[in-house]
A and B are shown apart, each in its own frame.
Chain A
């Protein structure tokens, strides 16, 4: 039974047959002309020359890459040619699909409303989309291969790159345009590649400024009429001719008006702290003296916890804006005093270690349920609405603390257990701490 031969096998048999035929023809011609070897050599030479011609055609075809038009050659060479053609077709097909995919990806990224720039590990621009070109004033073709920091020279961005903390975007005021704010963020990916995302936040920044100005102006405008009301209420409450039935209400009105003054004061303070700007520089603040002052303030309250300790473990000074530090610390101490019963205790502590400077206030007050802790620093956030109003806070104290600490590069940490008390700690970075060199500490 004969099996169907593969074309390749067939070609090999054919080639072998042809070689044998050539040899046979050579031998016959050799026998005719009387020189067997001469005939054989002649036949082989012809065979070799034919093979060379075929080889030349194949090589010429491959060199000129005219894959669409293969030479008409049979035998083993024909097989090789058809293999090459098939490989090439497959490659072209994959390439086309790949190119299509890349093009789709690029066109979708190009259409993104955000600016996207691809950077290599040296932060040189590899590719950017249309929006990035518009936001960052990048020029197509010209700017490829340039380092991004050479074109985006805003000091905020330079600092962002130097610190290499890419967890948050950085807001940059564009130098070349008026009132243009960009939010820039680096996203590292792959093998040292980086993605720069740019977004125009001018509108948000403007709205934010309008809101801030509104709060500041409104508070300011409310202050003058309130001063008048407070003045009259004070006179009234001291008037001996005042009807006795009215004495209670007038006293209450006076208390509430004073509370309102406090709220407005805090609102103004807060809107001042919210102004964007560089982190504050400041002067060395003597923490020990400041805490002594705060202790006196607590002792001056009509009701205050019995035990009030101040622990100073370091005579290092804190570098910051004294009025702001005072306002933040006094808010924390005030809170502790407010929520701690007379038989409780409060401890203020200042210490320095390799992580920086730390200030903490520990009280044995009522404590804060854990679900409220993350939201404590929100404006007007109340853990227990009824109770807080009774104690007369503005609801802005911890928001002020948060902003002051942010401006000083510090963090607020809150730990609390219900019924046992709370600890509020402020952690300042090491560069905010200055060791006092003079040996004046007694």
Chain B
């Protein structure tokens, strides 16, 4: 057990509990990541079976959320953690909510993908969605990596990416409006596409939330609703924080 700050507990069992629940969160994250990628592939490749399988797989995400939630409540009740450990538990409880939402958005995309597969595909084969989808999946992946490594700096980088997603969202929206004005027959499809883009944008927000929880977990500072530049300045000042959970090698 080398995760430095998690190892100082007198009770080894507590350690194991914390580590196990962290692993469970990350396993849930891995599943959600895959769901998201399958949903995007289903849409861009026009694979209705894949889209349906994503929509049907969402119940597993919900089950994982419930089970992790229960475990966190149990740890809170029986171990009464303090300081860094309490922050870890609080961050986990928040993270799984966001992961579950990402799963829900993935389910929506999968459902829409299976419906869009039966319609005529646009000439660009949803290239913009593919691009946005890649950015968003990367954000989710990096946020989870930052969570696993307790790496506040990477988390900050992920949070910054959200601006890019918002810009892409705007661009696709404008493009869709142009399509709809040009040819009203595409309105139905364009509306569905807008739903997907909206979902992807929401997933970007959830990934940003997760990375904010990572910063909270590491530095004990709530950085929600503050400008990222302020956060960065503060993190630089506290470059060598004392007594915070930080994964370091032996």
Contacts and interface: CB of A to CB of B under 8 A. Distances in A.
Interface string B93-123: 0000000000000000000000000000000
A57 B52 CA distance: 83
Interface in B119-170: 134, 137-138, 141, 144-145, 148-149, 151
Contacts of A152: 30
A139 B249 CA distance: 11
A124 B248 CA distance: 12
Nearest to A145: B2
Given A150-B22, A175-B34, A143 B27 contact: no
Interface stretch (A12-20, A153-161, A198-206, A260-268): A153-161
A176 B149 contact: no
Nearest to A144: B249
Contacts of A278: 53
A228 interface: no
Contacts of A150: 22-23, 26, 148
Contacts of A147: 19, 23
Nearest to A278: B53
Interface in A142-178: 142-147, 149-155, 157-158, 175-176, 178
Contacts of A155: 27, 30-31, 34
A33 interface: no
Contact of B26 (A141, A143, A149): A149
Most buried by A among B29, B141, B151, B249: B249
A66 interface: no
B2 A124 contact: yes
A144 B249 CA distance: 5
Contacts of A178: 134
A158 B64 CA distance: 13
B98 to A, nearest CB: 16
Contacts of A9: none
Contacts of A141: 249
B137 A158 contact: no
A124 B30 contact: no
Interface in B22-76: 22-23, 26-27, 29-31, 33-34, 37, 53
Given A150-B148, A155-B30, A158-B30, A142 B247 contact: yes
Given A141-B249, A147-B19, A175 B3 contact: no
Given A145-B3, A145-B250, A153 B149 contact: no
A137 B27 CA distance: 17
B37 A142 contact: no
A122 interface: yes
A128 to B, nearest CB: 11
Contacts of B248: 142, 145
B151 A146 contact: no
B33 A149 contact: no
Contacts of B177: none
B149 A144 contact: no
B1 interface: yes
B145 to A, nearest CB: 7
A154 B30 contact: yes
Contacts of B31: 153, 155, 158
B188 to A, nearest CB: 30
B247 A145 contact: yes
Interface in B227-250: 247-250
Interface in A332-390: none
A234 to B, nearest CB: 35
A146 B141 contact: no
Contacts of B2: 124, 144-145
Given A122-B1, A154-B34, A176-B141, A142 B149 contact: yes
Contact of B27 (A145, A146, A158): A158
A175 B19 CA distance: 23
B137 A175 contact: yes
Contacts of A143: 149, 249
A145 B249 contact: yes
Contacts of B34: 154-155, 175
Contacts of B1: 122, 124, 145
A331 B27 CA distance: 40
B37 A175 contact: yes
Interface string A167-200: 0000000011010000000000000000000000
Contact of B30 (A122, A142, A144, A175): A175
Contacts of B249: 141-145
B151 to A, nearest CB: 7
Given A142-B247, A278-B53, 10 more contacts: A122-B1, A139-B149, A144-B250, A145-B249, A149-B23, A150-B148, A153-B30, A153-B33, A154-B30, A154-B34
List the 5 closest pairs (A to B, CB-CB), nearest first: A153-B30, A145-B2, A144-B249, A150-B148, A150-B26
5 contacts: A142-B247, A145-B1, A149-B26, A153-B31, A157-B30
